[in-house]
């Protein structure tokens, strides 16, 4: 079976990763191949991937878009990990952002504006290539997240692309909270601007793509859900949670307005929860854990420098981090670690008020009173307001190192060097960070939601907390941390470490479910 995957990220290419979806796009094709599935992929070039990967130029072509004709270039290269399949790259100036970034952070008044236009053009380009014979037609089309929702709309609504309806199409949802919602009309980044003929069909005809909460907006993720032949969420736990309505005030995040669509798919047996896998083929670092800990400070400085190289200004977070690094040698005693995006999905519980400060303050105070040499290192990038808040916390606590950015070598070292990995997500579609920490033999302390509850078992390979609302979740997190600190250094702790290291979430198992469930049900 030949499958073409459309996605915004792919960790098989340097610089093409932002989140866990990129890891899936790297690892899943390798796992599917033994099951008789060959996966080609297509994504934007973002202005640098084709050049840096020395991709082969294929052709120039023209795309009808935005009441005009946009010239694009198509490149391709063999998948670096699987040379008998292709990764296609599309180049256009609309895909380019300063600093080699994939996504653009627009102002709060126009969320997704730049990216929605970017991916609307991307989807139109892919549809044009397929229907124009410039790309071979696959046996399955596999869309990933909201970025590909416009493709499902073109396939369903535009006569020029009706040929695509012959190809069964499936959708993988990596994060339901990101939906790409934009106005139907009245904005340069709107459905009317991108696809005027489609907009002229009227709201009734476009009903599967209209946001249920904002009837004057298009929702590309909803379109992909309703117009695909089967839909997949990246863990069984998350697939159950999204059938329920979200209750943000209680700290519960479920279907985010799309639960009725997902419930319909479940009744039709077209909705699946398949846990992402983890790559266990790479060997453990050759250096010892002690030697790697000695490298933490130099790696942290490298992470700071790599970010400053792309920055025009020095932020307070970088200054505070440098001061903390200068104050201490690399951690030698208890090290609490966390690697993740700075979003409320990941950090909301840490930001909750607690006894005159935040939950994060309480964690740091407890660490300091338990062991003056204990440290908490957090590596993450994302929301600027959260970064400022965490910088303020770092200024208050000498035992907290916050590095605002992402650095592959430092993140890998934290997985291997930490004593306890903290992942208190308010929701987690699957999560890769906890899998990587477990793989390295680091027990995890997690909120029992989504993929976290599918991978971490309390008292076996980590610690799990629950709570009916944000206040209860905050208290449960602190109580669970206390329980973990009490066990640290005991024989039970060594059992936790051994069980963490032995935990396996193999891609081979998940790939079989893709074939038997997702691709088979899309016939």
Q: What is the 3 state secondary structure string of 224-250? A: HHHHCCEEEECCHHHHHHCCCCCEHHH
What pLDDT, on the 0 to 100 scale, is given for residue 282?
79
Q: Which of 329, 334, 333 is nearest to 297 (CA)?
A: 329
DSSP state of 177: T
Phi, psi torsion values for 447, nearest 5 degrees: -80, 135
Pairing assessment for the beta strands 82-91 and 68-79 based on DSSP bridges: antiparallel
Contact, 82 vs 75, CB < 8 A?
A: no
d(C-alpha 191, C-alpha 419), whole Å: 49
d(C-alpha 497, C-alpha 376), whole Å: 19
Burial letters 470-488, b for 16+ CB under 10 A, else e: beebbbbbbebbeebbebb
What pLDDT, on the 0 to 100 scale, is given for residue 101?
86
Domains, the chain, ordered by start: 2-277+508-521 (3.40.50.2000), 289-504 (3.40.50.2000)
Pairing assessment for the beta strands 444-447 and 462-465 based on DSSP bridges: parallel
Contact, 411 vs 339, CB < 8 A?
A: yes
What's the half-sphere exposure (Cβ side, CA atoms, 13 Å) at 149? 27
* pLDDT by position in tens, the chain (length 523): 999 999 999 999 999 988 889 999 999 999 999 999 999 999 999 999 999 999 999 999 999 999 999 999 999 999 999 989 999 999 999 999 887 889 998 888 899 999 999 999 999 999 999 999 999 999 999 999 999 999 999 999 999 999 999 999 999 999 999 999 999 999 999 999 999 999 999 999 999 999 999 999 999 999 999 999 999 999 999 999 999 999 999 999 999 999 999 999 999 999 999 999 998 887 777 788 888 999 999 999 999 888 777 677 778 888 898 899 999 998 999 999 999 989 999 999 999 999 999 999 999 999 999 999 999 999 998 888 999 999 999 999 999 999 998 888 999 999 999 999 999 999 999 999 999 999 999 999 999 999 999 999 999 999 999 999 999 999 999 999 999 999 999 999 999 999 999 999 999 999 999 999 999 998 7
Contact, 298 vs 326, CB < 8 A?
A: no
d(C-alpha 31, C-alpha 515), whole Å: 11
The set of residues, in sequence order, having a beta carbon less than 8 Å from that of 29 and lying 6+ positions away, is 5, 39, 41, 79, 81, 82, 85
- 75 pairs with which residues across the strands? 57, 89
Contact, 405 vs 149, CB < 8 A?
A: no
| Helix residue spans in 143-233 (DSSP H) | 149-157, 191-194, 196-199, 220-227
Q: Note the maximum CA span of the chain.
A: 69
Structure tokens at 292: 């790697």
The set of residues, in sequence order, having a beta carbon less than 8 Å from that of 305 and lying 6+ positions away, is none
d(C-alpha 363, C-alpha 481), whole Å: 8
DSSP state of 53: T
Pairing assessment for the beta strands 169-173 and 140-144 based on DSSP bridges: parallel
Structure tokens at 63: 């795309």
Structure tokens at 446: 């997690």
Supply the pTM of this predicted model: 0.93
Helices (H) and strands (E) in the chain, counts: 22, 19
What pLDDT, on the 0 to 100 scale, is given for residue 522?
83
d(C-alpha 403, C-alpha 379), whole Å: 5
Which regions of 260-318 does DSSP assign to beta strands (E)?
A: 271-273
The set of residues, in sequence order, having a beta carbon less than 8 Å from that of 9 and lying 6+ positions away, is 16, 17, 18, 19, 21, 22, 25, 43, 102
d(C-alpha 409, C-alpha 419), whole Å: 18
Structure tokens at 508: 């081979």
Q: Which of 238, 111, 126, 108 is nearest to 178 (CA)?
A: 111
Which H helix or E strand runs over 30? Answer: helix 20-32
Contact, 40 vs 88, CB < 8 A?
A: yes
Contact, 340 vs 403, CB < 8 A?
A: no
């Amino acid at each position: 079976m030949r499958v073409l995957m459309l996605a915004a990220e792919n960790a098989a290419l340097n610089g093409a990763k932002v989140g866990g979806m990129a890891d899936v796009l790297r690892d899943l094709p390798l796992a599917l191949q033994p099951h008789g599935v060959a996966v080609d992929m297509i994504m934007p070039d973002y202005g640098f991937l084709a050049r840096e990967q020395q991709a082969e130029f294929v052709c120039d072509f023209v795309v009808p878009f935005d009441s005009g004709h946009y010239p694009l270039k198509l490149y391709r290269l063999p998948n670096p990990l699987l040379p008998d399949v292709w990764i296609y790259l599309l180049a256009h100036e609309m895909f380019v952002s300063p600093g080699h970034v994939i996504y653009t952070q627009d102002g709060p008044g126009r969320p997704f504006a730049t990216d929605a236009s970017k991916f609307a053009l991307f989807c139109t380009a892919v549809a044009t290539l397929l229907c124009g014979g410039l790309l071979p037609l696959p046996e399955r089309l596999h869309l990933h997240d909201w970025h590909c929702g416009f493709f499902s709309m073109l396939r369903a609504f535009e006569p020029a692309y009706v040929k695509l309806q012959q190809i069964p199409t499936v959708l993988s949802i990596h994060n339901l909270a990101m939906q790409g919602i934009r106005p139907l009309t009245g904005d340069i980044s709107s459905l009317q601007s991108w696809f005027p003929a489609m907009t002229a069909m009227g709201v009734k005809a476009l009903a599967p793509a209209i946001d249920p909460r904002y009837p004057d907006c298009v929702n590309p993720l909803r379109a992909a859900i309703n117009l695909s032949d089967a839909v997949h969420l990246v863990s069984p736990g998350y697939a159950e949670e999204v059938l329920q309505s979200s209750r943000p005030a209680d700290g519960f995040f479920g279907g985010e307005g799309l639960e009725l669509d997902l419930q319909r798919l479940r009744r039709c047996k077209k909705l699946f929860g398949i846990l992402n896998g983890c790559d266990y083929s790479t060997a453990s670092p050759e250096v010892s854990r002690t030697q790697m800990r000695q490298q933490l400070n130099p790696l942290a400085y490298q992470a700071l420098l790599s970010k400053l190289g792309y920055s025009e200004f020095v932020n307070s977070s970088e200054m505070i981090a440098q001061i903390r690094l200068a104050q201490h040698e690399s951690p030698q005693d208890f090290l609490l670690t966390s690697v993740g995006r700075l979003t409320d999905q990941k950090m909301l519980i840490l930001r909750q008020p607690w006894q005159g400060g935040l939950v994060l303050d309480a964690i740091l105070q407890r660490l300091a009173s338990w062991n003056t040499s204990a440290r908490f290192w957090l590596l993450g990038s994302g929301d600027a307001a959260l970064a400022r808040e965490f910088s303020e916390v770092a200024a208050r606590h000498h035992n907290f190192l916050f590095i605002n950015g992402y650095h592959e070598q430092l993140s890998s070292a934290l997985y291997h060097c930490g004593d306890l990995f903290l992942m208190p997500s308010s929701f987690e579609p699957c999560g890769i960070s906890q899998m990587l920490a477990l793989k390295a033999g680091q027990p995890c302390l997690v909120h029992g939601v989504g993929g976290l509850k599918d991978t971490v078992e309390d008292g076996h390979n980590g610690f799990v907390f629950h709570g009916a609302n944000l206040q209860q979740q905050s208290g449960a997190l602190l109580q669970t941390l206390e329980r973990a600190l009490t066990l640290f250094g005991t024989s039970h702790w060594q059992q936790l470490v051994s069980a963490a290291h032995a935990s396996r979430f193999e891609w081979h198992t998940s790939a079989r479910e893709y074939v038997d469930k997702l691709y088979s049900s899309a016939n």
